[in-house]
Amino acid sequence: MTQDAGPDDLVRAVEAVLFAAEEPMTAAEIGEHLGGADVREALSELAARYEGRGIELVRRGQRWHLQTAPDLAHLLRREREEPKRLSRAATECLAIIAYHEPVSRAEIESIRGVQTAKGTLDVLMEAGWVRAAGRREVPGRPVIYATTPEFLTHFGLATRRDLPGLAELRAAGLLEPVEEALERESSDIHKNAKEMRQEAGDTEASLDMGDETA
């Protein structure tokens, strides 16, 4: 962008960048294409201009992209091969991660009540909906998982707050908070450690008695 460019020129430039973009972009990424310009006001202006039209500018998380207005999407549907459906296990894992992120594999298993194969998480990561988000600062430092911007885009969500019925599901007890799973896991760790200390003490006592007898 030239220094003498006006506000409307910036809006047009932002529109051009978004139209050519293959993926949703952050305001900073758009600005980089325009010489470091601050494009936040231009994005808001452009979104307002698109209101009520066949194409709209939407924000998903921190990313922006142009899309067909939802009420007109049916006009553009084409016959295409149905994408591979997620297994029940993968669907459950995705829901748990979405509502409780970040969570570890052990925490997912605690909530589901069954073991979770690593391949199930790999499927979600290959789909681009789940990512590794660091490690939990507990013994063993397990990997923790979270959803991605692609997850929000695919399911038409602006933020995770738009997930359906989070408060209602928790109130009904259908989604067990991860904190409870962590408490159980921590309790099991302490219980096992206590049993190991007791076994070690019993062994030492037996050895001492053996020495006295000898």
- Predicted pLDDT of residue 188: 53
Spatial contact of 116 and 87, defined as CB atoms under 8 Å apart: no
At residue 136, the pLDDT reads: 87
Contact, 28 vs 64, CB < 8 A?
no
What are the tokens at 152? Answer: 């929000």
Collect the ranges in the chain with pLDDT lower than 70.
Answer: 1-7, 77-84, 165-214
Q: What letter represents residue 56's amino acid?
A: E
Is the Cα dihedral 161, 165, 169, 174 positive or negative? negative
pLDDT at position 64 is 92
179 HSE (CA, 13 A, CB side): 1
What is the model's pLDDT at position 192? Answer: 53
77-90 confidence digits (pLDDT tens): 654 444 557 788 88
d(CA 99, CA 146): 10
Q: Where are the alpha helices (DSSP H) in the chain?
A: 7-20, 27-33, 40-50, 88-100, 105-112, 118-126, 149-154, 166-171, 178-213
pLDDT at 79: 45
Cβ–Cβ under 8 Å, residues 98 and 160: yes
Position 174 scores a pLDDT of 46
Q: Which domains does the chain have, with CATH numbers?
A: 7-76 (1.10.10.10), 88-182 (1.10.10.10)
- What pLDDT is stored for residue 177 in this prediction? 46
pLDDT digits (tens, 9 = 90+) for 137-165: 888 888 999 999 888 888 777 787 777 76
Provide the pLDDT for residue 114: 86
